[in-house]
Each structure stands twice: as C-alpha cells, then as structure tokens.
Structure 1
Amino acid sequence: MAKKTAWEKVLAARAAKKIGVDDLINGITDDFMELHGDRAYGDDPAVYGGIGTMDNIPTTFVGIRKGANLNTNIERHFGSAEPDGYRKALRLMKQAEKFDRPIVTLINTPGAYPGVDAEYHGIGYTIAQLILQGMQLTVPYISVIVGEGGSGGALALAVGDCVWAFEDSIYSVLSPEGYATILWKDPSRMKEAASVMKLTPDELLSEGIIDRIIPEANTVDGFERFRNDLVKKIRELNALSKDDLVSKRLARYRNF
C-alpha cells in the first residue's frame, strides 16, 4: 500500500470513521465510570472523562472528543472544548493525583473553542494551567493523539511523560487551512501547507515531538493491543520514584 501524503493523513485524521474517544475508552477498560462537571461553571460534553480499570489498574481517562453525528458535533463544537471542559479535565487529573491513579489523555480536537464567551470565561488561562500543572503531576501520565491534535487545545492534554500518536493522526500548531491563510493569504493551498508543516506521525516522531506511533485501534484485537501497550507503559512509569517521574517529564519538554 502506498504511503499516505500529508494531506491524506489530514483527511484520515478527520474522517467520520475514525474511532470515537468515548468508544476507545470503553473498549479498553473493564468498568468505565464517567465523571461530570468542573465544579465551577458547567459540564462541557466535548471533554469525556472518568475512571476505568485496565488489568486491575484503576486509571483516570480524559479525552477531547468529536460528535458521532451532526447534533452531537454541534453540541461538542466539533471537538473544540470550552473553558469548563478544560477545568473538568484539570479537576479529574488532580483527583487522579490525590488517589495515586495513572492518567491517560486521548486527544481529537481541531483546537480550543474560539468563541467570545470562551475568552470571557478564561480559556487561555485554563489551558495554561493544564500545561503548567500537568508538568508537575506525580503520577504516570500518557498522552495519545487519536485524530486531530490542533493548537493549544490539544497541547493542554499533551504534556505527558510520553506522547503517542495513532497512525492516522496529525499534530500541529494550527490547521493546514489556517497556515495557508496566514502565511500565503490563500486557504486553497492547504495541501501544500500540510506537506511543509511536519504534522504527520512519521515527521513528528523524527523530530522527537512524539515518542511512538501506534496502530489504529478500531477492532477487538486493536483495543487489546492498545490496552496492553498502555498497561506496560504505566507499569514502567510506576517503577520510577515520584521525583524521578517529574524530573524526567520536565527534561523532556525542556528539550523544546
């Protein structure tokens, strides 16, 4: 099979058949329990999180998800989380630290919601807090780019001890359409933009932005493989002292 071009990777990452974050979480856990609310303002449905076990390891999962149809996409702003969603994510991650649970974040977002209300409710500050406090969590923290990983909206949940990406995913500072519009004043050059942005998993791996490319998980076998990979990595990270865990995480991001 011919290798996909950068633009084909963009289309694959955005495809409707891409596994949903909620389906993925429920496919790899035995008894997932969703948790709601940021305890301050609301409960953004774009952020899906809670607790589930993998091989008897209680784990906190936090995902940014798109909708399964037009109505749920509208409800979730097509995967663009609002401030209360990011506050919910931070609440669940701090709760995980309190109870010494590992954290897995699963990301599929074109970017944070850009609405005026989101600005008024502190979306920039909330994303910054997720990055700042995420760096200092004393429990294992694995970040996975499932589909689109766009801008600060994705980075908010992508400062784990390791960052993995599915084969059909992208991770970049903005969309190819945005890149072409800003730099060339011509959004129709989006395919050309994708080819120079180094947003594909292969390019991200070669640049050290991600640590591993993982196969798509959309079958029972795929779920099992992904689950086993996560459990193996969590056990590896749990073998480190809390001080070593945090220092290694900080060292990873200082390289950038």
Structure 2
Amino acid sequence: MTAPDQDEALQKLLQALRGGSSTSPAGAAVPPSLPPVNEDPMYLGAETLQRSYLTRAAEIRGNFDITDLAKAQQIAKLWVDTCAQLVEFGEDIQARRTARAEWIERQLPVGPGIPADVSPADRVVLNAAWRTAWERVTAGDHKRRQQLLAEATRFGDDTLKRAVLTACLDLSETDTVDEWTKSHDPATGALLTEWRYLRSLIAGDHFDNRWEPLTFRKPPKPGEVNELPRLERAREAAQRGAGR
C-alpha cells in the first residue's frame, strides 16, 4: 500500500472513530461494549499509522529534489506527529475500557447499594445494616460465605447478599460468585465476566492485548531528529556568509 493509500485508510478510520457514538462513551448513558482487541478501530488505526510512518519516511529520504535540511525537518515533524497520534490512540482505547468497566461495576450487586436520595436518618440505619452484614461475612471462611450467600438468597436479604458478593470478589473467591450468578442472575454473570476481562485488559496482562505494547509503541527516534540542529546551524552560517 502506498503512502497516499495508507493516509486515506487512516483518515477513514479517524472519521469513523470521531463520528461514531461507540468511540465517545463519555457522553453516552451506557458506554458500549468494545470490539475484540485486534478489531478495535484504535488498534487498527495504530497499525495503519505505523506502516504509513515507515512508508512516508522512506519516500522523504528518497526525494533527491529537496535538501538534507528539508528532509530532516519533514521526517522530524512526521515522527513527532506519529508519536502524538499513537499516544492518542492508546489513551482512547484505555479510556473506553475504563468507562465501560466503571459502568459495569455500578450495575453489579456489590457494595452497600444505598440510594443517593435516602434521608439522613435512613442512611444511618442502612449503613449500620451494611456494617453488620460485612462483619458477619468477613469473619467467616470461604465455606461460611457460601452458606451466608445461600441464606441471603433464600430470605431475600439484599444487604447480606451484596456483602457476600463484595467480599468474594475482594478475596478472589470467584467460584462462589460464578455459581450464584449462573443459578440466580445470568445477566449479572455476563456483566461480571466482561468486567473481569476489561480489568485485565486495562492492566495489560491479558493474552488478548499481548501485541498492544508493540502496536502503540512510538517508532524509534530517526537520526534526522538529532541531525536537525546541526543542519540548521549550517544553513544559518551559510546565510551569514552570503550576506557579507
């Protein structure tokens, strides 16, 4: 693919990214799910940009109609612009993952779950109930938490249920949470699976984003960047000499 073709492909990606609601979760009530990593527009955009950078740099170096100074200036600008765009791509994909993960977390039956609009008196009562449930849950072992979750489900004790699920997630007792969601709340189970996946991607330790460090990595600084000050000084010296 030639540089103009790559530029056109990149511009189409950028247009899709900036014009679609799926890439602008901040203004959406529900941040959309993300596509597979290697199909994400930002990932594809970074791949295209890396190829475009190499092609365009080679074309500039091979242009014998311009001076060495002009070549160095163009390549330096190309490198700076490419690095900035790669940073933007990487930050965007992480921002969308974070927004989606935070939204999911708010949907999960964890934490006290106290409504924002309750009266101060009711809030005191609900907080006390949460602390009592939390102490019961954290005082026991894994098996005891499973028993408490069964008890909470049987008697409709939402506070105790949330305390158990919160503790299990904190303690990585995922088997208890998975078994409960499978039997009682499959929709929450699906969200929880997505939440764990996103957290792993955000941390950068999932197999699916193993190529991201390479894809979003800034290209090595070209030699022309270091040569540019010398070439500029040489031009200034030549201009001074010509003015004498």
TM-score interval, normalised by the smaller of the two chains: under 0.3
Between Structure 1 and Structure 2, the one with more strand by share is: 1
Between Structure 1 and Structure 2, the one with more helix by share is: 2
Between 1 and 2, higher relative CO (CA 8 Å, sep ≥ 6) is seen in 2
- TM (norm. structure 1) is 0.23
